[in-house]
Amino acid sequence: MSTASLVASLTQLRNSLTQVRLPLSLPGSAAAEKAAREMVAQLDDYILPRLDSLDAPLLAVVGGSTGAGKSTLVNSLIGRVVSRPGVIRPTTRSPVLVHHPGDLAFFQSDRVLPGLARSFGQANDTSTLQLVAEPSLPQGLALLDAPDVDSVVTENRALASQLLAAADLWLFVTTAARYADAVPWEYLQAAAERSAAVAVVLQRVPPGAMGEVPQHLGALMLERGLGSSPLFAVPETTTDDRGLLPDAAVSPIRDWLASLAADQRSRQAVVLQTLDGAIGSLTTKTPAIVTALTEQGESSEQLWHDAEKSYAEAVRTIGVQTADGTLLRGEVLARWQDFVGTGEFMRGVEQRIGWLRDRILAAFRGEGQRAEDAKVAVQSGLEVLMREEGDAAAERVENAWLANPAGRQVLERTHEDLSRASVEYPGAVARVIRDWQGDVLELVSAEGADKKTGARIMAFGVNGVGLALMMLVFFSTGGITGAEVGIAGGTVVLAQRFLEAIFGEDGVRRMAKTAKEALDARVEGLAGSELTRYRQALDDLGLAPERAGEVQAALDALRSERVGGLALEGVPRPSLPTAQSLPGAGEPAPGGPAEPVASPTVEGEPAASEGVMGLGLGGIILPAGLGGGPARGFVSAPSAPVEGTVLDADAPQGRRLEPDHG
Ligand SMILES: Nc1nc2c(ncn2[C@@H]2O[C@H](COP(=O)(O)OP(=O)(O)O)[C@@H](O)[C@H]2O)c(=O)[nH]1
Ligand SMILES: [Mg+2]
């Protein structure tokens, strides 16, 4: 795997994630949308810039809850006040990044955290990073004092998360009084899940609790996957007039940081661990986003299906009722009978067909107002049917959508009244009927192209012939059989005989079929234009059905890039520093020199020392004593021996503990 191809697949993932829109609020969609946003931010703020310059300085972000002593810690590590400790809260102050002057270029550019402006003086907004150059800080290490993770100010919290996501190393600060609080643990848990390099600083431990509290926190860390992270316990002391802690209280932390900074391989180990963890967490978080995208698409599909189904039903109902005789009732029948003449000729149709024919022919010759009335009756009969079915279809869709959370959301968002047919519908219905009547007349005229037939049609008038054809259509599935002929049936038989006399039996059958198909097609078109309202409402959601596949493809590409974890071309994975490699860490442990020291042990559980995957420095580190004088900063580190001691729960405070091999 080359860095370039890893960067390419990460960029592909980034670009597809920026397109993620989950407009329907479904279970998990808000979380997935937030995750996608955060993943893009982490790619931009950290992963991509870090891959671009693996040897850039290590950024240690100091995070934790309000008043935990983050600013105090940063100041005490540096030996001067670079970040004002907060007294009045909540305050919005730009986060302070302390760096070696030689590393300025790395932090001044938009290589990391490109969304934040840079300032060299105090700034008071959450979109600026205040840069402070500090010559005593070792080159290759920068400290960032982040806002409170539990700030009451939303932007502060968001910025704290963003900064922690951009950290090579988290220096997580908590206090003896509040280390069990939920919010900081959510962050620590998240760090553990993506195996970010973490060190925990436990502030303000009362002298009497030195044996117990760090041990308990260590056990919690071990339980939650942070067993390989070092835990620094800082005793409760008074701060000096500048608000700094005594040097001895923080020197183990400073020495540890300095030793990391001094050793390029250790630095790289930290970077690779966090980077690998961050990339790994992208691959574990992405499937939920693909699922969320798929679910949005499926919901929208389901809603579209509901709409289509309902309109298909309307089309079917109209199709059936324009053929089964339903229409040949009331006005249509009355006007048709007015037209052809009523009364006695309805009797004995079959026997007296010859007489009837003469009667009908006579009636057709007399067309005029009566033909017009019958045509209007046909129009309004069809209109009533289509409008009723149009409203019923809309109502069915609305009910189906109301029964579905996604449907309710679409109904709420749309400006259309989807509870009934569209305002254009009645006009469209009238047009469709007129057009169909036009189709029928055209059909009749076309048949009339044949001279003999044409002459007959002319004799009766195109309108009358067309009307007879419509009557036939309306009863085409009515199943007329001699014995069962009712009044409607009788009139239709009349029409049929009449038409057969002009066009012949086959011709009539063919024309009736063509006319019916033309009607069905027009009704289908009508439903289609009503359906556009639903299509529009769903399209307005802005879902892109191809998105899920794109994100999945990017994920697959990334997965195939990092089979077996991050191992970059030309960047050998360094072995991680162990406690023994720290200056002054004492003799190697008798059982195994490579083991880290004194992981917090919990009864019945294995010591964290068995997993040397983290910083390789799990364990609890206590200060040796508090007589160390005022804060002195990094100047003399790391040549001075580490003053920290590693806690043994059973040993008196301040004595070294040999590794626990139990
Ligand atoms: N006595 C004492 N005060 C501390 C200690 N650490 C922090 N403080 C005080 O606690 C308050 C909050 O500290 P600060 O560093 O601003 O916390 P932050 O919100 O995490 O940055 C300040 O007034 C500090 O002076 C400590 O170890 N001992
Ligand atoms: Mg602070």
Q: Is the pLDDT of residue 284 over 90?
A: yes
Of all protein residues, whose CA lies closest to atom 5 belonging to ligand 1? 69
Q: Tell which atom from ligand 1 comes closest to the C-alpha of 85.
A: 16
Write out 302-347 in H/E/C secondary structure: HHHHHHHHHHHHHHHHHHHHCCCCCCCCHHHHHHHHHHHCCHHHHC
Q: Is the pLDDT of residue 355 over 80?
A: no
Same domain, 131 and 274: no
Q: Please, are residues 185 and 214 in contact by the beta-carbon 8 Å criterion?
A: no
Same domain, 248 and 169: yes
Neighbouring CB atoms inside 10 A of 640's CB total: 15
Residues lining ligand 1, Cβ inside 6 A: 64, 66-72, 85-87, 148, 203-204, 236-239, 243, 245
- State the pLDDT at residue 357: 56
| Both structure tokens of 86 | 């907060």
- How far does the centroid of ligand 2 lie from the alpha carbon of residue 215, in Å? 26
Same domain, 255 and 277: no
Q: What is the pLDDT of residues 149-195, one digit of tens each?
A: 998 888 889 999 999 999 999 999 999 999 999 988 999 998 998 88
Does some domain include residue 659? no
Q: How many CA within 13 A on the CB side of residue 298?
A: 8
* Mutation probe of ligand 1 site: the residue of 239, 240, 245, 250 with most atoms within 8 A of C-beta: 239
Does some domain include residue 310? no
- How far does the centroid of ligand 2 lie from the alpha carbon of residue 149, in Å? 11
Query: Alpha-carbon distance 204 to 187, whole Å?
Result: 20
Of all protein residues, whose CA lies closest to atom 1 belonging to ligand 1? 238
- State the pLDDT at residue 478: 65
pLDDT band, very low/low/confident/very high, at 479 (cuts 50, 70, 90): low
Percentage of the residues of the chain whose pLDDT score is greater than 90: 56
220: domain range?
61-262+578-603+611-624
- State the pLDDT at residue 619: 75
Same domain, 396 and 536: yes
Same domain, 187 and 273: no
- State the pLDDT at residue 21: 94
Write out 41-55 in H/E/C secondary structure: HHHHHHHHHHHHCCC
Same domain, 80 and 130: yes
Segment 530-549 mean pLDDT: 95
Neighbouring CB atoms inside 10 A of 517's CB total: 12
Segment 72-92 mean pLDDT: 81
- How far does the centroid of ligand 1 lie from the alpha carbon of residue 237, in Å? 10
- Does residue 348 sit in helix, strand or coil? coil
Does some domain include residue 618? yes
Ligand nearest to the CA of 95: 2
The count of structural domains within the chain is: 3
Same domain, 191 and 337: no
Same domain, 130 and 26: no
- How far does the centroid of ligand 2 lie from the alpha carbon of residue 160, in Å? 11
- State the pLDDT at residue 46: 94
DSSP one-letter code for 656: -
Same domain, 128 and 200: yes
Does some domain include residue 364? yes
Q: Is the pLDDT of residue 464 over 90?
A: no
Q: What is the pLDDT of residues 507-529, one digit of tens each?
A: 999 999 999 999 999 999 999 99
- Report which of residues 492 and 565 the model is more confident about: 492
pLDDT band, very low/low/confident/very high, at 592 (cuts 50, 70, 90): very low
User: At 539, phi and psi to the nearest 5?
Assistant: -65, -35
| Both structure tokens of 295 | 């679910």
Same domain, 5 and 119: no
Element containing residue 64 per DSSP (H, E):
strand 58-64
- How far does the centroid of ligand 1 lie from the alpha carbon of residue 245, in Å? 9
- CATH number of 247's domain: 3.40.50.300
- Does residue 101 sit in helix, strand or coil? helix
Does some domain include residue 143? yes
Q: Tell which atom from ligand 1 comes closest to the C-alpha of 68.
A: 20
Q: How many CA within 13 A on the CB side of residue 459?
A: 14
Tell me which of 215-219, 548-552, 640-644 is least confident: 640-644
- How far does the centroid of ligand 1 lie from the alpha carbon of residue 244, in Å? 9
pLDDT band, very low/low/confident/very high, at 593 (cuts 50, 70, 90): very low
Q: Is the pLDDT of residue 606 over 50?
A: no
Does some domain include residue 255? yes
Q: Please, are residues 77 and 6 in contact by the beta-carbon 8 Å criterion?
A: no
Ligand nearest to the CA of 75: 1
Same domain, 283 and 375: no
Q: Please, are residues 614 and 606 in contact by the beta-carbon 8 Å criterion?
A: no
Ligand nearest to the CA of 93: 2
Same domain, 170 and 193: yes
* C-alpha distance from residue 316 to each of 206, 390, 421, 531 (Å): 82, 12, 17, 15
Q: What is the pLDDT of residues 115-138, one digit of tens each?
A: 999 999 888 888 999 999 999 999
Neighbouring CB atoms inside 10 A of 411's CB total: 19
* Mutation probe of ligand 1 site: the residue of 61, 72, 239, 240 with most atoms within 8 A of C-beta: 72
Does some domain include residue 643? no
- Taking a 5 Å cut-off on Cβ, the residues next to ion ligand 2 are 70-71, 86
Ligand nearest to the CA of 73: 1
Does some domain include residue 651? no
